[in-house]
A and B are shown apart, each in its own frame.
Chain A
């Protein structure tokens, strides 16, 4: 193991302290809280440690502010964020209307384009108009160019129609949902006074990960973050588990909304209905004719009829889906070695059957109900079939008893026989009170806040507090921050920042002004951490090895330079305070402001040499402002995977090159990657 330069630096300080009474007084004179007793960190370092771990790094003047109110008081306030004013942030968030919208309203105003098209053109799979469209039938006879041209015309025509509707009903493209969500996350992390709350929002969003790229998930995310995660970030763990279990974002992402008891009444009634209809020869004949019109062969038609008689289209035939049950135990509560079996997974899955989403695509809400279509009536019929009120809000959680498996279940050796929705709630009770859960959550928190390999002893101490406080997050965190290991020297700057932490701490340390622009969102993506962009339910890893790779590191450096030279549109830094009469003074300023003077001698000497390197004369022909990304010319609103087509254009560098170069280098240095 390498003995880090920072450690060498602090060791040097300690050594100095031993021999110098004056220094010792400075270091230990205040001796304010019980936390300090175990630590070899200076007061300044403790403050920095807290600002880095409980928050996203320092803003100019933060260290002094914390000093003024006292570190203990500062931590107290962070644990009770309701007492902190947040006007700067509130003003910044005013432009993001989506943050206050219920899901049904988002469905209406930012409609799912796929659903919109289906409403306009009917269901594509059974669309006779489309079948009769000469473009399709003649495609075989045409040359490639002709057919491609026809397709292009089709696409243009469709796009024109859709744009018309967007204008007529004042709709907004659905890809703006995630833009607003991501921008607001960045803004909160940068400007919120409630830094710990923001760190915990990040932590829990990652713990209860959902992926915006999966189907309709994005429409549920604003509510998910607001009504479940943020609301309970420092509250009780069980509320988080219940909240996520019931939330459409999780129900959709882990498929539980489709999980129904095997052989439910619904399947049976459908089957009976089909059989009754097909027993009527007239109806049967009409059906056959219609299928023929759709271009199906007699063989296919016979197949379809057989299928219907045997209980409907296989594609729609559903049963128990274990995905949520498995991840609930493996990732949300007990942990992978938490002591559950495959049998437990099955039983838990049964307990959550019938936990579903009403109108998960928001058909009812398309264009604020202005465009009435068959889908709309279908949704109403669906409500009646499920036995729920047709006035149920689109995109909300419903428990449907008809889809629920009401048999008794056995989970972790405990019998569950309440029946109905209580089955799932009973399961959650069993899981959150299990000691494996306490240990799993304690360890994850310790990895986040202390180091990548927290000691068993500390994890046990924190787990005990989690258990005895019945999963009270605030109490658990307090125990973690008061743990002797929290301020241990070896944990100082021992964590590698995630890309999000790097981005936010850079913006904070430079006192940047931003509106959370798409440029920043793109930078995060390039560095490897698009928000809501992790596909697997594990969420992003939280240890150094997973973040550090060649391409990602390069992008970190490119971000650092782009930020310092003001190249990111709608994000501005003012480096005036770094300026000075001499180059060496610029360097001193930068090291002091960004790294609090904690820099290795090697890096520093490198930077000194940099100062002597001549910079090129200003010229304008060397423009890389349009990097490698194609501009998205297709403005048609449609869901995109991630944000691949987002503009990544950079502006011309502005500011004093001597200054932004040094500042950029420091932000992209190994030192600033650590916290």
Chain B
């Protein structure tokens, strides 16, 4: 068990506590850390983003060099880069949806990589099951209790412990982060507090005092960590936050989540991983091409990612972002100018340590005999190879068999977007 932050802080828990607004240890430690921005052992941070509802990967990362793409998608294809509303070319064959234009800079700076034809070996087309499998990291097995990222953190053997090690910007802890490794779920840094109206200060003081008294079992420790976290956030004063480098976050859920994650990163609170999600990708009808429904979603998505990376600037040295979605969508458009549930998809990986400017993964093609079950982009890279590489090379979780049980994963399967 490594959650015993206080025990390591030399028994301060027992020694003293103040009634109102006490928060010395935690704050001092991090205040200290903040004065040493380049202190050795600054944590690697993994940010995972789930696109719930199955994003149409073929319009997110457009295979504009594939003529079949245009045959299959008469009214919803994104035009080639030379045409109006065309894709933003990446490597002569693939391009970004024009709404993802804000990400082009990062591609050019080699901070953004794409893995295409990636997905699950399980062929379910149920959102529910496919998300479940992707988050548990065990396709085909439902009874896995914890999530892959929680297992990855368990195996990453962190040396010190902060209440913000794993943060999910969601109402509840997502399946991805469920498990033994302590995780905080919150939607708003400012309301992560005791809420008692005008009596808040007084009630918080009371609770804090009571829980400081509690022993060193997991209940007592967690109680103390809770107040450390609350007090730290109070001092950090999230309402005063101003993004740097001219970054402008879009006013959507993902934008708000990433902005707050950025705050936590800059505040040096000891965060190792953060989770955020964005919904609305289930575009069965009228999804549009260069513009329209999907274009609007992608714009919000791309702006949020770009703002985050811009805001963090050189701190992106320590950060890797990875995006995922439960499955791709049909290669061809359906009768409602949308796409139905499919198979293979694309994932994005961003960060200064990423070997970006490159599309990873084997492309089979979109001819009917090249498609999975004659209708969907086939999977040539298992999503666990991608997540495994990120866990192994970025946050140092070497025990791949624990992270992805029932799957013989080893570094030779990695696509190599991280060194």
Cβ contacts B306-323/A at 8 Å (1 or 0 each)? 000000000000000000
Contacts known (A131-B337, A151-B293, A619-B198); A665 close to B184, Cβ less than 8 A: no
Query: Are B292 and A147 neighbours in the complex by a CB distance under 8 Å?
Result: yes
Enumerate A531-549 residues with CB–CB distance to B below 8 Å: 535-538, 541, 544-545, 548-549
Q: Name the CB-closest residue of A to B299.
A: A144
Enumerate B185-204 residues with CB–CB distance to A below 8 Å: 185-188, 190-203
Contacts known (A136-B286, A327-B143, A528-B172); A295 close to B368, Cβ less than 8 A: no
Assembly CA distance A657 to B173 (angstroms): 33
| A303: interface (CB < 8 Å) | yes
| A339: interface (CB < 8 Å) | no
Query: Are B187 and A628 neighbours in the complex by a CB distance under 8 Å?
Result: yes
| B44: interface (CB < 8 Å) | no
Cβ contacts A541-565/B at 8 Å (1 or 0 each)? 1001100111101100110011001
Enumerate A132-147 residues with CB–CB distance to B below 8 Å: 133, 135-137, 139-140, 142-144, 147
Choose the segment among A67-75, A119-127, A368-376, A415-423 that binds chain B (4+ C-beta atoms closer than 8 Å).
A119-127
Query: Are A661 and B206 neighbours in the complex by a CB distance under 8 Å?
Result: yes
A147: B residues at CB distance < 8 A: 288, 291-293, 296
Other-chain contact of B285, A130, A331, A664 (Cβ < 8 Å): A130
Enumerate A312-336 residues with CB–CB distance to B below 8 Å: 314-315, 323, 326-327, 330-331, 336
Contacts known (A299-B71, A536-B145, A602-B213); A561 close to B335, Cβ less than 8 A: no
**Chain A min CB distance to B281 (Å):** 14
A628: B residues at CB distance < 8 A: 187-188, 190-191
Assembly CA distance A561 to B196 (angstroms): 7
Query: Are B198 and A627 neighbours in the complex by a CB distance under 8 Å?
Result: no
Mostly, the B contact residues are loop
A661: B residues at CB distance < 8 A: 199, 202-203, 206
Assembly CA distance A625 to B191 (angstroms): 12
Contacts known (A147-B291, A550-B184, A613-B19); A624 close to B336, Cβ less than 8 A: no
Q: Name the CB-closest residue of A to B179.
A: A546
| B352: interface (CB < 8 Å) | no
Contacts known (A299-B71, A545-B218); A606 close to B209, Cβ less than 8 A: yes
Q: Among the interface residues B136, B210, B226, B373, which one has the most CB atoms of the partner chain A within 10 A?
A: B210
B143: A residues at CB distance < 8 A: 326-327, 330-331, 336, 536-538
Query: Are B337 and A136 neighbours in the complex by a CB distance under 8 Å?
Result: yes
Enumerate B261-303 residues with CB–CB distance to A below 8 Å: 284-286, 288-293, 295-296, 299
Assembly CA distance A665 to B200 (angstroms): 12
Q: Name the CB-closest residue of A to B336.
A: A130
A634: B residues at CB distance < 8 A: none
A294: B residues at CB distance < 8 A: 334-335
Contacts known (A295-B335, A314-B373, A535-B175); A665 close to B203, Cβ less than 8 A: yes
| A496: interface (CB < 8 Å) | yes
Query: Are B206 and A536 neighbours in the complex by a CB distance under 8 Å?
Result: no
Query: Are A610 and B209 neighbours in the complex by a CB distance under 8 Å?
Result: yes
Give the bracket for the number of chain B residues in contact with chain A: 35 or more
| B83: interface (CB < 8 Å) | no
Q: Name the CB-closest residue of A to B204.
A: A557
Assembly CA distance A627 to B335 (angstroms): 43
Enumerate B362-387 residues with CB–CB distance to A below 8 Å: 368, 373-375
Contacts known (A139-B292, A140-B291, A300-B332); A545 close to B201, Cβ less than 8 A: no
Query: Are A140 and B142 neighbours in the complex by a CB distance under 8 Å?
Result: no
A1: B residues at CB distance < 8 A: 217
| A653: interface (CB < 8 Å) | yes
B374: A residues at CB distance < 8 A: 303, 306-307, 314
Assembly CA distance A607 to B207 (angstroms): 9
A92: B residues at CB distance < 8 A: none
**Chain A min CB distance to B175 (Å):** 6
Choose the segment among A53-61, A103-111, A161-169, A666-674 that binds chain B (4+ C-beta atoms closer than 8 Å).
A666-674
B202: A residues at CB distance < 8 A: 613, 615-616, 661
B173: A residues at CB distance < 8 A: 528, 549, 551
Query: Are A295 and B218 neighbours in the complex by a CB distance under 8 Å?
Result: no
Assembly CA distance A148 to B295 (angstroms): 10
Query: Are A623 and B197 neighbours in the complex by a CB distance under 8 Å?
Result: yes
Assembly CA distance A295 to B333 (angstroms): 8
| A618: interface (CB < 8 Å) | yes
Assembly CA distance A214 to B200 (angstroms): 38
A18: B residues at CB distance < 8 A: none
Query: Are A624 and B290 neighbours in the complex by a CB distance under 8 Å?
Result: no
**Chain B min CB distance to A23 (Å):** 27
**Chain A min CB distance to B178 (Å):** 8
| B411: interface (CB < 8 Å) | no
Query: Are B335 and A557 neighbours in the complex by a CB distance under 8 Å?
Result: no
| B158: interface (CB < 8 Å) | no
**Chain B min CB distance to A623 (Å):** 7
Q: Name the CB-closest residue of A to B190.
A: A628
Enumerate B92-149 residues with CB–CB distance to A below 8 Å: 125-126, 128-129, 132, 136, 141-145
Contacts known (A131-B337, A622-B197, A670-B220); A549 close to B191, Cβ less than 8 A: no
| A282: interface (CB < 8 Å) | no
Query: Are B196 and A653 neighbours in the complex by a CB distance under 8 Å?
Result: yes
A contact residues, total (Cβ < 8 Å): 102
Query: Are B222 and A548 neighbours in the complex by a CB distance under 8 Å?
Result: yes
Q: Name the CB-closest residue of B to A617.
A: B198
Contacts known (A125-B335, A128-B335, A665-B206); A549 close to B182, Cβ less than 8 A: yes
| A86: interface (CB < 8 Å) | no
**Chain A min CB distance to B300 (Å):** 11
Assembly CA distance A130 to B288 (angstroms): 14
Query: Are B332 and A545 neighbours in the complex by a CB distance under 8 Å?
Result: no
Query: Are B186 and A131 neighbours in the complex by a CB distance under 8 Å?
Result: no
| A213: interface (CB < 8 Å) | yes
| A584: interface (CB < 8 Å) | no
Assembly CA distance A342 to B222 (angstroms): 40
| B215: interface (CB < 8 Å) | yes
**Chain B min CB distance to A80 (Å):** 34
Assembly CA distance A525 to B215 (angstroms): 27
| A644: interface (CB < 8 Å) | yes
Cβ contacts B373-409/A at 8 Å (1 or 0 each)? 1110000000000000000000000000000000000
Assembly CA distance A567 to B205 (angstroms): 20
Query: Are B333 and A549 neighbours in the complex by a CB distance under 8 Å?
Result: no
| B237: interface (CB < 8 Å) | no
A618: B residues at CB distance < 8 A: 198
Assembly CA distance A175 to B231 (angstroms): 38
Q: Name the CB-closest residue of A to B203.
A: A561
**Chain B min CB distance to A628 (Å):** 4
| B171: interface (CB < 8 Å) | yes
Assembly CA distance A533 to B368 (angstroms): 40
Query: Are A670 and B210 neighbours in the complex by a CB distance under 8 Å?
Result: yes
**Chain B min CB distance to A154 (Å):** 8
| A600: interface (CB < 8 Å) | yes
Q: What residues make up the interface of B, taking CB atoms closer than 8 Å to A?
A: 19, 68, 71-72, 74-75, 85, 125-126, 128-129, 132, 136, 141-145, 163, 171-173, 175, 180, 182-188, 190-203, 205-207, 209-211, 213-220, 222-223, 225-226, 229-230, 284-286, 288-293, 295-296, 299, 332-337, 340, 368, 373-375
Q: What residues make up the interface of A, taking CB atoms closer than 8 Å to B?
A: 1-2, 4-5, 124-128, 130-131, 133, 135-137, 139-140, 142-144, 147-148, 151, 213-215, 254-255, 294-297, 299-300, 302-303, 306-307, 314-315, 323, 326-327, 330-331, 336, 496, 525-526, 528, 530, 535-538, 541, 544-545, 548-551, 553-554, 557-558, 561-562, 565, 567, 600, 602-603, 606-607, 609-610, 613, 615-616, 618-619, 622-625, 627-628, 642, 644, 650, 652-653, 657, 661, 664-665, 668-670, 673-674
Can you offer 18 A-B residue contacts whose CB atoms are under 8 A? A131-B337, A143-B291, A144-B295, A147-B291, A295-B74, A295-B337, A300-B72, A331-B143, A530-B172, A536-B142, A541-B145, A551-B183, A551-B184, A558-B195, A561-B195, A565-B196, A619-B198, A661-B202
10 smallest A-B Cβ distances: which pairs?
A294-B335, A602-B213, A2-B215, A136-B286, A139-B292, A628-B191, A314-B373, A606-B209, A628-B188, A622-B198
